[in-house]
């Protein structure tokens, strides 16, 4: 209810502002609004994802360029024109949400334009306006900051009302890094505006070409990365098929390791690396016979030595693959122990990468809760108790605590979901 009321208020304010501006006697530069409006709609339509989260769209720079070239009215109308994209329609976003988005974008552009003009800036397409380097840069940068701030604040309040989280929490979690990219986009908007002011609309092509090149590059990158992960998963699955006791082990370890890494609030790029390391952590066992791996009785010294070599065998297999360079230290150290008595090197805890400590916990948990040739699986409760008992000696204490917190929260969430389904 609060969100609806808030959205409706923002929409009402924006509607009044648009009515007031359109009703004023100020002449409109229709060519500017048509060209930049169409381009920003196109930019929003063709927005693309970049690795490890986030999307890139040239819509914001276009809105800001419209502010600098034509003032608040032009900025507001251009923002309005690109506020609903085909993706929004496909995603079946509700009319209130669409209208709120249009309103907050228009208000941000209008306020930005008012600040620009209020600080002495003159729209660049007006005759005698001067250039951005001669006195207009200060007002332009202030306008950029206002546009970014208003844009994010209006959305942050809506998110806070919808989620129940505090405004400060929403701002810190969702927008602190976004602010930097938004300011970078504003700088690009400056360049757009200067291009049009100096050479005309055709010159925008000079920046649209690299945008399309980057878009194509990242799309192919995403496809390749997905294909890469799928291929490795399938081949690891085939590899694990030789041992019925470890079938699916690497995928489960990857799931646990990703959950634990998220609980530790690691960056998305690091979480992706840990997922890869988990999938490949036991690849060195290929050189160990099934007889040894599935032996129900105690291992001989020679057999145990073969087992201890498997992290280094994995390094040997994967070394030289640039994309995997960061995960090799995690794989090689996933059997090191917190007390420094692990293998293959007996490294002290401080020298073991965080990713390896995470893998060790995830690996141990899956090993305990899976059937082995020499014992039945442990219950989850018993396995958690065992993790706690070796915390600080075999396994890193912080990782164990985080894993237990994540696992218990996941179990709670699953049981809520299950009871919801049953109802």
Partner 1 sequence: MTPWVGTNRLAGLSTLAVGLLGMAVVDYLGVAGPADPVYFVALVLAYVAVEAIPLQLPRGDVLYFGVGVATASLLIVHPANAVFAMILGLGLAATSSGSPVPARLWGKDLGRRLVALLLAATVHSQLVDSIAPGSSQLSALTPALLGGVTYAVLDLTWFSLSGSRALGETRLQSAFALFRMLGGLYLGQISVALAVAIVRPGLGSLGVVVLLTLMLLMQHSFGLLLKVRLSYTMTVTALAQLPELQDGGSRGHADRVAMLAVAVARRMGMRGSALERISLAALLHDIGNLGVEGSVGDDASSVALRGARLLESVSILADLAPVLAMQDGEAVRGAKEGDVLAANIVARCSAFADRLGAEYSESRARDALVAMSCDDPDDLVAAALDAVVESGALPGAWR
Binding footprint of partner 1 on the chain (CB under 8 A): 50-51, 131-133, 137, 187-188, 190-191, 194-195, 197-200, 202-203, 205-207, 209-210, 213-214, 216-218, 220-221, 224-225, 227-228, 230-232, 234-235, 237-242, 283, 286-287, 289-290, 313, 317-318, 320-324
Provide, rounded to whole angstroms, the least separation between the CB of residue 107 and partner 1: 26
Provide, rounded to whole angstroms, the least separation between the CB of residue 194 and partner 1: 4
Provide, rounded to whole angstroms, the least separation between the CB of residue 46 and partner 1: 15
Neighbours of 315 (CB within 10 A): 16
Residue 215 or 335 with smaller CB distance to partner 1: 215
Provide, rounded to whole angstroms, the least separation between the CB of residue 197 and partner 1: 7
Tell the burial category of 52 from Cβ atoms under 10 Å away from its Cβ (0-12, 13-18, 19+): exposed
Residue (of 243, 240, 337) closest to 281 by Cα position = 240
Provide, rounded to whole angstroms, the least separation between the CB of residue 326 and partner 1: 11
Provide, rounded to whole angstroms, the least separation between the CB of residue 68 and partner 1: 11
Provide, rounded to whole angstroms, the least separation between the CB of residue 183 and partner 1: 11
Residue 107 or 330 with smaller CB distance to partner 1: 330
Residue 176 or 198 with smaller CB distance to partner 1: 198
Residue 107 or 193 with smaller CB distance to partner 1: 193
Provide, rounded to whole angstroms, the least separation between the CB of residue 294 and partner 1: 11
Provide, rounded to whole angstroms, the least separation between the CB of residue 49 and partner 1: 12
> Are 116 and 26 within 8 A, CB to CB?
no
Residue 221 or 380 with smaller CB distance to partner 1: 221
Residue 263 or 275 with smaller CB distance to partner 1: 275
CA 112 to chain centre: 28
Residue 34 or 207 with smaller CB distance to partner 1: 207
Residue 20 or 235 with smaller CB distance to partner 1: 235
Residue 18 or 193 with smaller CB distance to partner 1: 193
Residue 166 or 289 with smaller CB distance to partner 1: 289
3-state secondary structure the chain: CHHHHHHHHHHHHHHHHHHHHHHCCCCCCHHHHHHHHHHHHHHHHCCEECCCCCEECCHHHHHHHHHHHHHHHHHHHHHHHCCCCHHHHHCCCCHHHHHHHHHHHHHHHHHHHHHHHHCCCCCCCCCCCCCHHHHHHHHHHHHHHHHHHHHHHHHHHHHHHHHCCCHHHHHHHHHHHHHHHHHHHHHHHHHHHHHHHHHCHHHHHHHHHHHHHHHHHHHHHHHHHHHHHHHHHHHHHHHHCCCCCCCCHHHHHHHHHHHHHHHCCCCHHHHHHHHHHHHHCCHHHHHCCHHHHCCCCCCCHHHHHHHHHHHHHHHHHHCCCHHHCCCHHHHHCCCCCCCCCCCCCCCCHHHCCHHHHHHHHHHHHHHHHCCECCECCCCHHHHHHHHHHHECCCECHHHHHHHHHHHHHHHHHHHHHHHHHHC
Provide, rounded to whole angstroms, the least separation between the CB of residue 249 and partner 1: 13
Residue (of 79, 106, 104) closest to 20 by Cα position = 106
């Amino acid at each position: 209810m609060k969100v609806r009321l808030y959205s409706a208020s923002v929409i009402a304010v924006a509607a009044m502002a648009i009515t007031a501006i359109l009703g004023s006697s100020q002449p409109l530069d229709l060519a500017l609004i048509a060209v930049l409006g169409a381009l920003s709609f196109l930019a929003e339509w063709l927005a693309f994802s970049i690795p490890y989260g986030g999307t890139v769209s040239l819509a914001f720079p276009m809105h800001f360029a419209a502010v600098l070239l034509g003032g608040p009215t032009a900025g507001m109308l251009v923002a309005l024109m690109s506020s609903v994209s085909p993706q929004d329609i496909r995603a079946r976003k509700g009319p209130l949400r669409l209208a709120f988005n249009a309103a907050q974008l228009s208000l941000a552009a209008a306020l930005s334009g008012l600040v620009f003009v209020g600080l002495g800036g003159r729209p660049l397409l007006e005759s005698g306006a001067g250039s951005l380097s001669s006195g207009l840069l200060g007002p332009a940068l202030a306008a950029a900051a206002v546009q970014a701030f208003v844009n994010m604040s209006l959305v942050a309040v809506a998110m806070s009302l919808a989620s129940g989280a505090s405004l400060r929490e929403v701002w810190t979690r969702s927008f602190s890094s976004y602010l930097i990219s938004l300011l970078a986009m504003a700088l690009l908007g400056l360049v757009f505006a200067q291009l049009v002011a100096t050479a005309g609309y055709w010159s925008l092509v000079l920046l649209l070409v690299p945008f399309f090149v980057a878009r194509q590059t990242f799309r192919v990158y995403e496809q390749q990365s997905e294909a890469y992960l799928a291929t490795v998963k399938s081949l690891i699955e085939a590899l694990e098929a030789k041992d019925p006791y470890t079938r699916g082990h690497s995928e489960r370890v990857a799931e646990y390791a990703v959950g634990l890494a998220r609980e530790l609030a690691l960056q998305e790029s690091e979480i992706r690396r840990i997922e890869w390391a988990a999938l490949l952590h036991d690849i060195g066992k290929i050189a160990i016979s099934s007889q040894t791996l599935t032996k129900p009785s105690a291992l001989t010294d020679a057999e145990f030595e073969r087992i201890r070599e498997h992290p280094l065998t994995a390094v040997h297999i994967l070394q030289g693959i640039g994309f995997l360079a960061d995960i090799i230290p995690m794989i090689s150290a996933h059997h090191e122990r917190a007390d420094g008595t692990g293998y293959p090197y007996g490294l002290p805890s401080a020298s073991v990468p965080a990713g390896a400590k995470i893998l060790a916990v995830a690996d141990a948990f899956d090993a305990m809760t899976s059937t082995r040739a020499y014992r039945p699986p442990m219950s989850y409760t018993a396995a958690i108790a065992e993790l706690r008992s070796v915390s600080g000696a075999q396994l890193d204490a912080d990782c164990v605590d985080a894993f237990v917190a994540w696992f218990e929260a996941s179990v709670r969430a699953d049981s809520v979901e299950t009871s919801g389904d049953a109802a």
